[in-house]
Structure 1
Amino acid sequence: MSDLLPRHRAVMPSWMSLYYDEPIEIVRGKGNRVVDAEGRAYLDFFAGILTNMIGYDVPEVREAVDRQLASGIVHTSTLYLMRGQVELAEKIARLSGIENAKVFFTNSGTEANEAALLLATYARGTDQVLAMRQSYHGRSFGAIAITSNRTWKNNSLSPLNVHFLHGADRHLAQFRGLSDADYIAVCVDDLRHLLATAVSRDVAALIAEPIQGVGGFTMAPDGLFRAYKEVLDEEGILFISDEVQTGWGRTGSAFFGIQNHDMTPDMMTFAKGLGNGFAVGGVVARGDLMDAPHAIGLSTFGGNPIAMAAANATLDYVLEHDLQSRAAVTGAILLDGLREAKTRLPIVGEVRGKGLMFALELVDPATGAPAPALAGRFMEETKKRGLLAGKGGLYGSTLRMAPPLTLTDDEAREGLGIIRAALETVNEEVGK
């Protein structure tokens, strides 16, 4: 690291946080492992925040990008036809299940969510939007407005009139102990009450993450969003599924996270893993919604030729290697092993997740309260043992992990061993 950390602090904003007491610089990667500037290797269980979806130095992706670079065309803009953009849009439209779907490409998930909000508010002629408690949808002005996590909200100013719903907060006393069916019934009743009391006439949309990313991989029980959509459909309110973290088979049980709820949204936003590290995001929506705005629009860099080459190769790789099924298998190895470990580790309050998107909630064994300090200790222990993990959640006490979908069974067991050892070390320290 040498002098890089003080140089970083001198020129980068203080709110741009770094992991670890001694932050690392990642300089090389191959498969599902990376190497830092000091030569230490790590099994990557966070994948650049779920972005290096099929690992590092993937020949199919590298060769596709090299071919595009060799053509001399790095950029043209959406003012010209782009074959790669059309081909990728065709694939996404087909996979989405949305009727007469059309696709608009952006550079990030934040930008994708902004575009979806524009489409929804234009179509419905209102600034009223519903979102979920504990949600995170990006760092921009509109995205912060629909984010329900105080740690990530800089101000209360908003271009939207937003109301937040229950659905991923079963830890609260009024919901604790309810069955899935009873919790869904309570949440739907609350939605109906909100529509009757808190809003004025038309509402544009509900935007929801099938599994909340920054929220700590908390999630609604399967079926809740279908039940919500039945209520929303009564008033023509649109449903936007934020698939920035849950898309492309990561949950193992569905290709898009919302499909676990047995429903098709009006729009989906996507980003992160699709480019396997190259910047790409977008919205896939019903054609009538996508075509509705009357003003001219474009995206200078969204859907650029390099990003499209990488994204097409990445999506083809996911489909050809059936990585959704692989996520189900390796995810089961990890989740089953962690649930077994929880029975003998009092610091683990909850194990949750689907496929290769799973989390541990660390708590004070004496009180059951969230324990962010223990999460920090876990991060240091896994780093020392050669594994990269993520941290977050509403209280900063959640360890969230999402390895590349190419994770092998042996790598899953290796990672599980490191996680268990780190938890045992932290648990022992608490008991002293």
Structure 2
Amino acid sequence: MARIELFTPKFKKGHWTVKKEKLYFEEDGSEEVHGPFERDFEAITKLLNGMYNLSELFLALEKKSIQFSFTRVLSFLEHLVNLGLIENGNEYLDYYAKLQSGAAEHSSSHQELTEAYFTKDRIKAFIQKTCLVPEGDSEVLNKLVKYARLVHSQPGDTLIAQGSEGKEFCVLMSGKLGVYREEYGQRKYITELNPVCVFGESPAISGKKRNAEVSSLHSSWVLAIRIRDLMDPSQAEEFAEIKSLRTRLIINQILNCSPLFKNVPSEILSRFLNKSGVLSHEASENVLLEGDFGDIFYVILDGHVEVKLKDHKISELKKGDFFGEMGILSGGQRSATVKTLSRCHLLIIRAEDLKELLSASFYLAFNLEEEAQRRILENTEQRHNLGVPLDDANTITDTSFSDYDFDDLDFSSISIADISGISDIED
């Protein structure tokens, strides 16, 4: 089934307005009536100005923080179909019924949920939407359910206190949570958490104190899991699997801190991990060579690399930064050499798998393009002064990651068994 963003409206590029409950297109003194539309959609229809597809519309709604009901937007789009304003309208009408059914299934108030709702099978379904379980690994899934406890919190309740010992990591299954940090005697709002997501994993792994508070904004249901229960040394045969869980939690935190994965659903993040592998490089090794053709995308898990164009050092990339996307997106040659400055662990994913994920997640595609363009613009002047072409590497800045010893981590559960053509490049 196609994604909603793939349907193409026949909107004209110009100025749209809502007057007397009808949608107007005003250009060259003419008016075209495409209604009726309810007044509640005025904020949405104003965003049609200059838009060509639904992904742009939904992005605009998100960027402007406009509150909207998913089911009502579907009704709005159905009306566009009936007016002949969506090119693949017949396909959409078939799609609409399935979307409406799915929306109705998830429209029940979280406040109405009870403990009885969270059966073992439902809890498993929630966990499988996260990064916690390698694809098809029922043993790890069953162990997570075995050691999890269900927590119900009301608005204002504190789930995690800043400064407390990190013994558990959590999975938010329903509701909404707020993250706060006390700085200089003032309680500062940081962000909100929405289902389904993993949080609190860093202190649970490292044993360090919590650096933030997590409190309920709505009635919420959370799974709390003691990682040390899972890592009981007496269960020696399970230790390797739990190390894999620990590894996935750490990588999940790095990716979640990255703007590249902002607004990306946890299911997509989990699929990204399941399709990824890990490469280790010693210091002073070439990862990419300028002029080569490449089909691998890289995210730095730890270590530092330098980007060189025509033997000129352009930038350094660190933990959480990515590179290699320009060659994949353009299908062309690598326009930069990337060389390690220290021992590095790199999360890698093949072009075909990345493109599949980009087609499945509008936000991942948008974030990748936006971050690439941002870095290109930032470095244009420097490259121009050096007389070298645009580079193939883009950095993500303003990230905060805990320090982990990646040499101690087990990457087996996220390795790609059949990666071909991926190897260390000799200097």
State the TM bucket, normalised to the shorter chain.
Answer: under 0.3
Give the TM-score taking structure 2 as reference length. Answer: 0.28
Higher RCO (Cα < 8 Å, 6 or more apart): 1
Give the TM-score taking structure 1 as reference length. Answer: 0.27
The structure whose Rg is larger is 2
